[in-house]
Amino acid sequence: MILLISHGFGIREALVGKPGWEWLAYQFEHVSYAGCTLWDLIQPAFTFIVGVAMPLSRSRRLAQGASESKLWRHVLWRAFALLALSNILSNWGSTQGLRPQFINVLCQIAIAYVLCFGLLQLPFRAQAVAAGGILAAHYGLFVAFPGPEGAFALTGNIGAVLDKAVLGYNYSGGYTTLNALGNAMTVLFGVWTGMLLDHTRDHGRRLRILLGCAACAFVLGLAIAPWVPMVKRLWTVSFTFFSAGWVLLAFAKCYWLVEVRGWRRWTFPAVVVGMNCIFIYSFSQVLHGWLSRGLAAFTKKFIVIGSYGAIPHNLVVLTVMWGMCYWLYRRKIFFKI
């Protein structure tokens, strides 16, 4: 979330076109279509963490006496609220009229949340079989109905055709609503990680499983890629596994630092933001530009150091947004759905 609301700390603006630094600047923007960069991993990481929280929260709520029917009502309400908020943010300031959309990260979480909560009621083997079926169905749809340029091409794929038929328009950039199925599997990987944390207490065993699964995810993603390209905008099977490998690796690293080594103080800035993710995400979506322009009157975007000034300027913007979260944190004000 910090990486997202800081606009990558301004690194891309600072380094783009700089000889020898293009590789780093490239990591702070989405790939043009096929491939994967650091910036493409933000949404998988975000939705994965949603999955991690689900079994832990469910166990706690059941221990407190909540019934499954009450939990279902909560899940459906939360999904509806996320869908509504997502469409408000996506249509904010639009000059083209209101358009329903389902590709914003909040919409993706809402759809995956309901699907994965349903799967969570099943035994693990049944969950695994269902996951395989969903991934196969997602792949099968694209292959069974290839567009004129190919099954996973930027235009004319089955996802684009369905969006045009149902919504009356196509999203810009080649995104499709069908990517919600692939994203749901990323959330489900998070659910399984949460189940591991809930049922296994041994740190070493947890880390071995996490690292082993990360390695398997990398291998599967890279092995599938020659036939199914890594396309985040379609959330293809290869991207699902490859991105999961990176997220699992990062999660294992954080787990080792925080739970095994006990180094927790460094996490405080992230805790402050994480406790108000909905607030700061919504603020960033609507008002980041306004805040950046306002602060530029004082920072002058540090133009004296050229394009490198984008880094300190974005850090100033981030500091102000973090300060807002800290103000809420100190007063125990948390915006939740």
Q: Which residues contact 331 (CB under 8 A, 6 or more apart)?
A: none
Q: What is the pTM of this model?
A: 0.93
Query: So what's the pLDDT on residue 334?
Result: 95
Q: Which amino acid is at 244?
A: A
Which one-letter DSSP state was computed for residue 307? G
Query: So what's the pLDDT on residue 337?
Result: 82
Mean pLDDT score of the chain = 95
Look at residues 220, 235, 263 and tell me which one is the last residue of a structural domain: 263
pLDDT at 201 exceeding the cut of 90: no
Beta carbons of 234 and 157 less than 8 angstroms apart: yes
- Name the β-bridge partners of 147: 150
Same domain, 100 and 235: yes
Look at residues 263, 288, 310 and tell me which one is the last residue of a structural domain: 263
Query: So what's the pLDDT on residue 259?
Result: 94
Closest by CA to 190, choosing from 223, 208, 230, 217, is 217
What is the distance between the alpha carbons of residues 223 and 239, in angstroms, rounded to a whole number?
Answer: 11
Token code pair at residue 194: 């949460």
Does residue 183 lie in a domain region?
Answer: yes
Token code pair at residue 337: 């759905």
Q: Which amino acid is at 53?
A: A
Same domain, 296 and 194: no
Same domain, 50 and 20: no
Does residue 35 lie in a domain region?
Answer: no
Same domain, 185 and 324: no
What are the φ/ψ torsions at residue 60 (nearest 5 degrees)?
-65, -45
Same domain, 234 and 268: no
Q: What is the pLDDT of residues 236-294, one digit of tens each?
A: 999 999 999 999 999 999 999 999 999 999 999 999 999 999 999 999 999 999 999 99
Query: So what's the pLDDT on residue 95?
Result: 76
Closest by CA to 235, choosing from 165, 168, 138, is 138
Query: So what's the pLDDT on residue 180?
Result: 95
Query: So what's the pLDDT on residue 336?
Result: 86
Q: What is the pLDDT of residues 93-105, one digit of tens each?
A: 887 778 999 999 9
Query: So what's the pLDDT on residue 96?
Result: 77
Same domain, 138 and 275: no
Does residue 318 lie in a domain region?
Answer: yes
Same domain, 152 and 268: no
Q: What is the pLDDT of residues 301-323, one digit of tens each?
A: 999 999 999 999 999 999 999 99
Closest by CA to 159, choosing from 183, 144, 175, is 175
Same domain, 12 and 116: no
Which one-letter DSSP state was computed for residue 10? G
Does residue 54 lie in a domain region?
Answer: yes
Query: So what's the pLDDT on residue 93?
Result: 83
Same domain, 152 and 243: yes
What is the distance between the alpha carbons of residues 10 and 299, in angstroms, rounded to a whole number?
Answer: 14
What is the distance between the alpha carbons of residues 104 and 282, in angstroms, rounded to a whole number?
Answer: 12
pLDDT at 330 exceeding the cut of 80: yes
Q: What is the pLDDT of residues 204-239, one digit of tens each?
A: 999 999 999 999 999 999 999 999 999 999 999 999
Which one-letter DSSP state was computed for residue 283? H
Does residue 161 lie in a domain region?
Answer: yes
pLDDT at 25 exceeding the cut of 90: yes
What is the distance between the alpha carbons of residues 110 and 105, in angstroms, rounded to a whole number?
Answer: 9
Q: What is the number of structural domains in the chain?
A: 2
Same domain, 129 and 105: yes
pLDDT at 131 exceeding the cut of 80: yes
Q: What is the pLDDT of residues 72-97, one digit of tens each?
A: 999 999 999 999 999 999 988 887 77
Rg (CA), the chain: 21
Same domain, 121 and 259: yes
- How many Cβ atoms are within 10 Å of 243's Cβ, its own excluded? 28
Look at residues 243, 263, 283 and tell me which one is the last residue of a structural domain: 263
Q: What is the pLDDT of residues 157-191, one digit of tens each?
A: 999 999 999 999 999 989 999 999 999 999 999 99
Does residue 174 lie in a domain region?
Answer: yes
Q: Domain residues for 6?
A: 1-30+264-337
